[in-house]
Amino acid sequence: MTMTEDAEPRQRKHWRLWLVLAAVLILLAVLIVPPLVSINRYKGRITSLMAASLGRPVRLSSVELRLLPRPGFVLTDLTVEEDPAYGAEPILHANTVTASFRLLSLWRGRLEIGRISVDEASLNLVRTETGRWNMESLFRTAAARAGSATDSAGRRRAVPLPYLEATNSRINIKSGAEKLPYSLVDTELSFWQQDPGDWRIELRGQPARTDLSMQEADTGIVRLQASVRRAPELRQMPVHLDLDWREAQLGQLTRLVIGSDPGWRGDLTGELHLDGTAEAAQVKTRLSATGVHRAEFAPAAPMDFDANCAFVYHYSSRALNNLACDSPLGDGRVHIAGDLPGALAGDLPGVSDQPRISVELDRIPVAAVLDALRTVRSGFGPGLEAVGAISGKIAYEQSAAKKIAPVSAKARSAVQGPFTGSLTVDGFQLSGDALQTPIHIPRVVLEPVAGLEAQHSGQSQPPALAATVAIPAGAAVPLTVQTRLAFSGYRVTVHGQAALARAREMAHVAGLANAAVLDAMAGEPITVDLSAEGPWMPAQNIPITSTASAGNAKTPSAATTVDKAGIPVADSLSGTVLFRNANWKSDYLANHVVISTATLHLGGSETRWDPVVFSYGPVEGKASLSIPANCDPLQPCLPQFKVEFGALDLSVLQAAILGAHERGTMLSELIDRLRKMNSSAAPAWPRLEGTVQADSLIAGPVVLLKPSAKLFILPAGAEISGLNAGLLGGRVQADGTLSTGDKPFYSLQARFLKLNPAAVGQLLGQRWSGGAFGANGQLDLSGYTDKDLAASAKGTLHFDWRHGSVASASVSVPQQLARFDRWSSDAEIANSAITLKDAQVFEGVRKRAVEATVTFGTPPRVAFAGAKETHLKKR
């Protein structure tokens, strides 16, 4: 008994020793054997096993054996080929793959892959034009091969699909051979067969775009869990799917989807739950958003929503059946219901082939609609406040459209087509922002109108909701506003009269670009006939362009505001605005302009003021201004103007534009303004180009007949080119510049053609006769008054006169000027006078010099010096 008891401890010690020894041997084998064993010769066998498991051709570079933490192979440069029907690019590529084999399969004398793990792999999901996915072929082929493999004895056996997992990988999405910019990065994917024919999928990834630099952390996280049972076709497989997309920032999400950031901000969460098959899938969705607002505008109450939808989806026909969506909005509720069949919906049992949908609003706050509008469109009245509620129901049924017979124009307004119902806005009031007095409309009814209504314009328009209201705007006739709201966009027409102050408020509230042109105007009510239309997004500004900013203005042309289907693609504003007895004051003018009548034409390829009948102090005229649209930013096109005057006095015009010269008058104020021209706060003249013409221009004792010139208005001056006018029986042609400073500075280059000697002599108080003569010269001068201009005048003059004579009753005229063949001279202009230099008088073979001085004044004074005679050399 004692010996037995002593032997038992010794036996336990021996077993422990053997266990320790076995563990050491196994550890040594794990560490020593794999490097010594080359299994590259089994690469073909392993490749065949993986190809049989995946149902696709497989290529790899090398294979290594690994025993820990579980027996398996380390595969290098693994490529799983694509089905040629889906493209030539591999469906999967990974630099390193771990393939673990099933231990039980070794006991049965065969090798089976149990798990395939890839890291930093690239997986391509391909969708063909017919709507098939490459994963459908993978499922079908793998399922078929799983039941067709045979063992060494020739018996059929199943080749189970290995457990597939990927970490830190990328999933790319392709449409046919084209790789789309959308992908999932940092993806974790698991795919396995839980039971024969029963697959499970789990996925977690971050959406991204490959063609944009994005803050990927703000695009959210997508999580998916799904189970799929085997069927002959992918669309017949029973599917259960749970998908959610969380932590998505709205700005980055819109960049992800449409490639640009429209300026929306907020947090978005989406959920989708699907049960059934692709032919009849029960789908439930939820889309919720919090803190929705524009980037530049944070409202007191952000626009939040939580929409829940349920429907049945039919993959073959792309049809939605039994759609029901609900979402609270403010203190109200939105309910949407209907069926949206696809092209083949009529072939499905119990599915209508005609679309029908209804939208029901129950006490939706107008403030929520305003917030939504401010969110999708930038610059729309951030200070506006709205009250009121919208209720009603609109139903659409396409079958109703087929029952409509042709009707007369009088009956069109009663035809609703496929739409029925109405929406009512009660207690609408808009206040705040630029509105000094709120806009109040007790009741507005929006009713459906058919696209038939717009056929008279030649442009097909979709059905829409329409309403007509009258809005008092401080004039004898109220504004009649007709609104048309469609899925694609809006159309608003305005007719009637409005006080200028009220029109200015409404222009600012509507967010019209450059509405500041109305800020500088006052006068009688204006008459408007305008039409505005555009898409709900993206937002584009509708410009009313003033001359102050016309050089940078852009107005969408009528040719580019709608697409081929008649759907607006950009905001546009067209029509006319009539001004009467208005005053316009600009910072760069010393006085205001009185406008008797002016018509502003909007739309088309330009914005045009024509005609404008105006007076500026004592100066009266008629003008037009055309502002081109869609100018190239690299080659800006300037606004074009044309100004016409009657008889015009140059001194009166200068005094009107620049002011009087006495201290304390408009001129002194303008001088102070001009001295500040170099500062950033000083008003600059707008960049314009155009023509100026008049019946006559009186410049002191000289009258220019039918003068015309081309002007280039610059921020601090002007350029004059092509000045052409009748002068002293002949013509004058000139070019010049005007620069602003302490005083206006003029620089002129002039050519005088075929001047009448009698008219020139009369100007100088003498009797001249003979042939016509010409001259040319250059002159610089500055100042505001005749004395300033004369004192500052400097330049040169050359004239040539043939076959003439000079006589005077007031001054002594040299004998050689009594009759001559030619008189040619260069002259210098300075010190308020013109001094002749190198003046030569030719008579036959004699050449004599003449000295003379013309002193500026009214009239000018001419003085001759003694004559000197020389003889021409005989040839």
For the stretch 474-519, pLDDT in tens is 999 999 999 998 877 889 999 999 999 999 888 887 767 667 678 8
Tens digits of residue pLDDT in 76-121: 888 888 888 888 888 889 888 887 776 555 555 555 677 888 888 9
Domain enclosing residue 86, as ranges: 41-196
Q: Please report whether residue 67 resides in a domain.
A: yes
One domain for residues 629 and 760: no
Tens digits of residue pLDDT in 692-724: 999 998 877 888 999 999 999 887 788 999 999
Nearest to 128 by CA among 185, 182, 84: 84
Please tell me the predicted confidence (pLDDT) of residue 562. Answer: 54
| For residues 734-738, average pLDDT | 92
In this predicted structure, the answer to whether residue 597 has a pLDDT above a threshold of 80 is yes
Please tell me the predicted confidence (pLDDT) of residue 845. Answer: 82
Q: Is 266 helix (H, G, I), strand (E, B) or coil?
A: strand
Are 117 and 169 in contact by the 8 Å Cβ rule? The answer is no
Peptide bond into 538 cis (omega under 30): yes
Label residue 775 by pLDDT band (50, 70, 90).
very high
Q: What is the Cα–Cα distance from 237 to 198, expressed in whole angstroms?
A: 10
Q: Please report whether residue 821 resides in a domain.
A: yes
Q: Is 732 helix (H, G, I), strand (E, B) or coil?
A: strand
Label residue 350 by pLDDT band (50, 70, 90).
low
Please tell me the predicted confidence (pLDDT) of residue 92. Answer: 87
Residue 831 φ/ψ region, left for φ over 0, alpha for ψ in the -120 to 50 degree band, beta for the rest = left
Q: Please report whether residue 813 resides in a domain.
A: yes
- Stated as kind and residue range, the H or E segment containing 650 is helix 650-658
Checking 137-142 for CB contacts under 8 A at 24+ apart, the result is 137/83, 137/85, 137/86, 138/54, 138/55, 138/56, 138/83, 138/91, 139/199, 139/228, 139/230, 139/234, 139/237, 140/55, 140/232, 140/233, 140/234, 141/55, 141/56, 141/83, 142/53, 142/54, 142/55
Nearest to 272 by CA among 318, 317, 226: 226
Nearest to 464 by CA among 530, 403, 396: 396
Number of domains the chain is built from: 3
Please tell me the predicted confidence (pLDDT) of residue 677. Answer: 42
- Stated as kind and residue range, the H or E segment containing 680 is none
Tell me which of 570, 603, 637 is where a domain ends: 637
What would the two tokens of residue 128 be?
């063909």
Q: Please report whether residue 606 resides in a domain.
A: yes
Q: Please report whether residue 367 resides in a domain.
A: no
pLDDT above 90: percentage of residues in the chain: 27
Q: Please report whether residue 742 resides in a domain.
A: no
Tell me which of 172, 196, 220 is where a domain ends: 196
* Look-up of token digits 């100088």: 764
User: What does DSSP say about strands 521-523 and 489-498: parallel, antiparallel, or unpaired?
Assistant: unpaired
The CA-based angle 129-132-138, given to 5 degrees, is: 140
One domain for residues 456 and 583: yes
Tens digits of residue pLDDT in 436-463: 889 999 999 999 887 544 444 455 567 7
Q: Please report whether residue 643 resides in a domain.
A: no
Burial of 339 (0-12, 13-18, 19+ CB in 10 A): buried
Name 323's Cβ contacts closer than 8 Å, sequence gap at least 6: 309, 310, 311, 336, 337, 338, 339, 340, 357
Name 515's Cβ contacts closer than 8 Å, sequence gap at least 6: 504, 507, 508, 544
Burial of 178 (0-12, 13-18, 19+ CB in 10 A): exposed
Q: Is 14 helix (H, G, I), strand (E, B) or coil?
A: helix
Label residue 856 by pLDDT band (50, 70, 90).
confident
Q: Is 380 helix (H, G, I), strand (E, B) or coil?
A: coil
Nearest to 310 by CA among 276, 279, 337: 337
Q: What is the Cα–Cα distance from 467 to 470, expressed in whole angstroms?
A: 10
Please tell me the predicted confidence (pLDDT) of residue 286. Answer: 94
In this predicted structure, the answer to whether residue 631 has a pLDDT above a threshold of 60 is yes
In this predicted structure, the answer to whether residue 402 has a pLDDT above a threshold of 60 is no
Peptide bond into 556 cis (omega under 30): no
Nearest to 459 by CA among 568, 579, 368, 618: 568
Name 664's Cβ contacts closer than 8 Å, sequence gap at least 6: none
Helices 666-675/650-658 angle, 10° precision: 60
Question: Model pTM?
Answer: 0.69
Q: How far is CA 339 from the centre of its chain?
A: 35
Q: What is the Cα–Cα distance from 647 to 281, expressed in whole angstroms?
A: 84
Tell me which of 165, 196, 227 is where a domain ends: 196
Q: Please report whether residue 846 resides in a domain.
A: yes
**Please, what sign has the CA dihedral across residues 849, 851, 856, 862?**
negative
Average pLDDT, the chain: 78
